[in-house]
Structure 1
Amino acid sequence: MRNRRHRSRAVVAFATAALLGTTVLTACDAQGGDASAPGGSAAHDGPSPKPTPTWDTSPRSLAAVGDSITRGFDACSVLSDCPEVSWATGTDSEVDSLATRLLGKRRAASHSWNHAKTGARMTDLNGQIEQAATERPELMTVMIGANDACRSSAASMTPVAEFRTGFEEAMRTLRRSLPKTQVYVASVPDLKRLWAQGRTNPLGKQVWKLGICSSMLAEPDDLAAAASERRDSVRDRVVAYNKVLKDVCGKDKHCRYDDGAVFDYRFDGDQLSHWDWFHPSKNGQSRLAELAYRQVTSEKPAA
């Protein structure tokens, strides 16, 4: 009897162990192999790390590319560049350029570069970016497109598809050399609004006759249907260029378009050159710097 009771207890113990073993294996399988028990995973301890932001609001170096506006053309003397008042990299204290605002006066002198060229069009942007990339800037500013619309005639304006191809090529060139450099893209100004503002100034109209933006500014007092249609076609082309700038920039996580801030800005007489009443004056350059600084230092891009 004692042996029989001993064997019975042994059978029960063995069956219980087998049942417990099966339960443990089943629990492991339900957790997925070596997974810890619920609530025991170290991976879930503490808050999740914040993702690294894609936009640095405090870049430490800056290179500018673009056209006559970024060169400060006609801001200091007639038909001349004046880069010291450039909205992007100028040193003039009255302008308080983007570089000065971001870097401070001393650092801006050694860590900002202006590769813009008066008269440049989109076809020139790729070469400018190649040059600017050698400086390895943390931020690159782009303002170009006015000269693509400012041609000898409306028929000579750069086709929109060609403008897009040029900008895409320039961005690819930048990314091959500098995959993380930030890019601030300013919209093309509203050339028709500049015509409306400057056409009342006799001196400005005399300078316009020298060939400044003939597609828009030729025969400035002609309000007949044909002239109005010509100016509207130039404005429409600028709108199309700005859409290209927005679209291409929007595909690059390190690029910010100004969402039409420059195009929408209403330059007045104080903010236009007192020689040609078309390019920004020193005051106008300061306004451009202000617009750029506001958007470059914003945590989020313009809506």
Structure 2
Amino acid sequence: MKRGMRKRAWAAAALGSAVAVLTACGAPSATTTSAQPPQAVPGAVVETLAVVGDSISLGVNACGSVSACPEVSWATGSSPGVSSIAQRLESATGTRPETVVAAQPGADVGDVAAAAATVAAAAPDLVLVLIGANDACRPSADRVTPAAEFEDAYARMLDGIHAAAPDVRVVAYSVPDLEQLWQLGRDDPRAVALWNSSPSCGSLLGDADSTDAADVARRARVVESVDAYNVAIRLACDARPWCTSDDGAVHATSFARADVSEVDFFHPSTQGQATLAARAWPAVERALPSATG
């Protein structure tokens, strides 16, 4: 099978499995490698773009129904209204990259660490990583991924990609500010009713309308976990010269109510995907200055 055909088939299979199962949402840590960053070539283009992540990168629930909507994905989407990273690369270079979607609903950092070699086997030029929401958003607070475990798995994932594809560039994105979702929906009876009836994100959204001290403290612990994940992402990426972090840009994004899906009051809407793409793009420009400048 030719290289391009193999990538398209791999991506289609990944998307097929992702659509089938929808949910709401070791290794040494962050050691410096001796590898030098790949040198950008003037006029170079990204022939193959891969995204590693969860349901956010699949556009789940963004198009008004309980389903994936990959055409509006912030990373690889084709919808003109989103201006995805793939579309921006095409605009900057004149070449539309092939896309490899290694994202699954409900994926956490352990899932993507295990899949890293498979992603890299597709020989992408650029890998975008957005993961961590499902590590914090658990059915119960005691199941939130510990920060040290997240750090180890994230470093293992980065090193797995690099080991299989030494010339690849990686852009590591911070975990979105999940507390914003609760702030945006806590006064909406529809959102509160849906969150309280769903087991998917009890760690943050359970008892959504409660102001009891225990519930306030529980939400605060989720916020602390997300902050710790973001520190781990930045440190792991900064220690690897072939990785560019977003310096917290995605986490710092201020989402409006219209940026959140009306289906579950959790995932980004189409407008939210566009907002995310705009915030994610500057890190790509830093990672590939000669290709995008």
2-structure distance, mates of 1:166, 1:298: 25
CA RMSD of the aligned region, Å? 2.3
Q: How far apart are the structure 2 equivalents of 1:169 and 1:254?
A: 15
Contact 1:204 1:275 in 2 (8 A): no
Candidates 168, 172, 185, aligned match of 2:159: 172
Report the alpha carbon displacement of residue 133 of structure 1 after superposing the two structures with TM. Answer: 1.2
Percent identity, aligned pairs only, is 38
Q: How does 1:223-262 map onto structure 2 within 5 Å?
A: 223-262=211-250
1:26 corresponds to? none
Whether 2:83 is the aligned partner of 1:90: answer no
Unaligned stretches of 5+ residues in structure 1? 1-50
What is the aligned counterpart of 1:296 among 284, 288, 292?
A: 284
210 and 62 in structure 1: CA distance in 2 versus 1, 3 angstrom threshold: same
Question: Hey, what does 1:142 align to over in structure 2?
Answer: 129
Which of 99, 116, 120 is equivalent to 1:133? 120
Of the structure 1 ranges 161-170 and 198-207, higher mean CA displacement relative to structure 2 is found in: 198-207
2:210 corresponds to 1:222? yes
| 1:204 match | 191
Aligned residue for 1:264, secondary structure, equals coil
Q: How does 1:32-181 map to 2 (within 5 A)?
A: 54=39, 59-104=46-91, 107-108=95-96, 111-181=98-168
Q: Residue type matched to 1:179 in 2?
A: P
CA distance in 1, matches of 2:142, 2:37: 47
TM-score, with length taken from structure 1: 0.77
Q: 1: distance between equivalents of 2:38 and 2:119?
A: 24
Aligned to 2:194, what secondary structure does the other structure show?
helix
- 1:272 pairs with 2:260: yes
- How far, CA to CA, are the matches of 1:299 and 1:178 in structure 2? 16
Residues 171, 287 of structure 2: 8 Å contact kept: no
Give the conservation status (yes or no) of the 8 Å contact 1:201–1:277.
no
Bigger radius of gyration among the two:
1
Q: Tell me if the contact between 2:38 and 2:169 (Cα under 8 Å) persists in the aligned partners.
A: no
- Please state whether the residue corresponding to 1:70 is helix, strand or coil: helix
Note the C-alpha offset of 1:201. 2.2
Residues 46-92 of structure 1 deviation map (CA, whole Å, 9 limit, x = unaligned): xxxxx998567853321001011111111113432111111000111
Q: Under a length normalisation based on structure 2, what TM-score does the superposition of the two structures give?
A: 0.79
Aligned partner of 1:206: which letter? A
**CA distance 1:263–1:55, shift in 2 (3 Å):** farther
**1:214, distance to aligned residue in structure 2 (A):** 1.1
Change (3 A) 1:195 1:58: farther
Counterpart CA distance in 2 for 1:157 and 1:164 is 13
Matched residue SS, 1:115: strand
User: Tell me, what secondary structure is at the counterpart of 1:242?
Assistant: helix
Q: Deviations over 1:90-139 (max 9, x none)?
A: 1111111101110259953x611211101000111123322221221111
How many residue pairs end up in the alignment?
Answer: 250
Q: 5+ residue gaps in structure 2?
A: 1-35
CA contact (8 A) 1:270 1:281 kept: yes
Partner Cα separation in structure 1 for residue 265 and residue 230 of structure 2: 23
Contact kept? 1:122, 1:144, Cα under 8 Å? yes
Alignment deviations for residues 143-194 of structure 1 (CA, whole Å, 9 cap, x no partner):
0011011111111111111111111111121111111211111111111121
Which stretch of the first structure deviates more once superposed, 98-107 or 274-283?
A: 98-107
Equivalent residues of 2:89, 2:95 under 8 A apart:
no
